[in-house]
Amino acid sequence: MTPLELYQRLHEASPERALEAAREAGAAHPSPVVVSACLVGVACRYDGADKGLPQVHRLLQGQKALPLCPEVLAGLGVPRPPMVFEAADGAAALVGATRLLDAQGRDCTADLARGARFAVRLAEAAGCERAVCKARSPSCGVHQVYTHAGLVPGCGMFTAACRDAGIVVCSDEDSGWPGRPPEVERDPMA
């Protein structure tokens, strides 16, 4: 099954069928890795585009990807207005300490919290222990997110929920998994 086909089963089905698809993915490929769906070529970003990146394959190390988009699971649609936190980050938003507002001023906090938590349920159903998430995203950001004040240190709501569930998260811009030294690229002619 291609990443797009798996994405469709996880995102276009009822919650029960999506959980079933996640369990099947985990049974077929033990310990798949959650990947922000936009990173494997799914056009689900706020602007309707994808961010397919070759370096994601290096981080996956041949493991099966479980492509998830918490914003689509939240019912926010594609395309959708961009979103920023009022202050702080996704961890603060999950506990009600800040809000996530879209460019039209709509409060998206509760919707994205629901989508992030359901995405974690899908990851757990598949047996995922790691995730590769899109940098600076309000759902998937790992090291930085946008607020009304600009780019600040922090994480997105899905990343915070993953960490709460014990899933190790890295950014698509990281050179390796936390706690693992970056791989040294060797000159093939050496």
Instruction: State which amino acid sits at residue 164.
Output: D
Query: Alpha-carbon torsion 122, 110, 4, 52, what sign?
Result: negative
Residue 181 resides in a domain: no
Residue keyed to tokens 């291609």? 2
**Residue recorded with tokens 């780019």:** 151
What pLDDT digit, counting tens, does each position of 129-188 carry?
999 999 999 999 999 999 999 999 999 999 999 999 999 999 999 877 665 434 433 333
Q: Is 14 left (phi over 0), alpha (psi -120 to 50) or beta?
A: beta
Phi then psi for 153, rounded to 5 degrees?
-65, 140
Domain contains 162? yes
pTM over 0.95: no
Residue 153 counted as domain residue? yes
- The residues with which 153 forms a beta bridge, in sequence order, are 144
Q: Is 65's pLDDT higher than 60?
A: yes
- Domain span holding position 144: 3-171
The letter for the amino acid at 111 is D
Nearest-CA neighbor of 70 among 1, 160, 2? 160
Nearest residue to 69 via CA among 159, 142, 149, 139: 139
Is position 131 within any domain? yes
Looking at the structure of the chain, the number of domains it has is 1
Which tokens go with 9?
């089963």
Domain assignment present for 139 = yes
R_g of the chain, CA atoms, integer Å? 16
Question: Is the CA virtual torsion 83, 87, 90, 93 positive or negative?
Answer: negative
Angle at CA of residue 95, ends 127 and 119, nearest 5°: 25
Q: Does residue 114 form part of some domain? A: yes
For residue 151, being part of any structural domain is answered with: yes
User: Residue 116 and residue 35: Cα distance in Å, rounded?
Assistant: 13
Using one digit for the tens of pLDDT, what is the confidence trace for 67-126? 999 999 999 999 999 999 999 999 999 999 999 999 999 999 999 999 999 999 999 999
Distance of CA 3 to the CA centre of its chain: 14
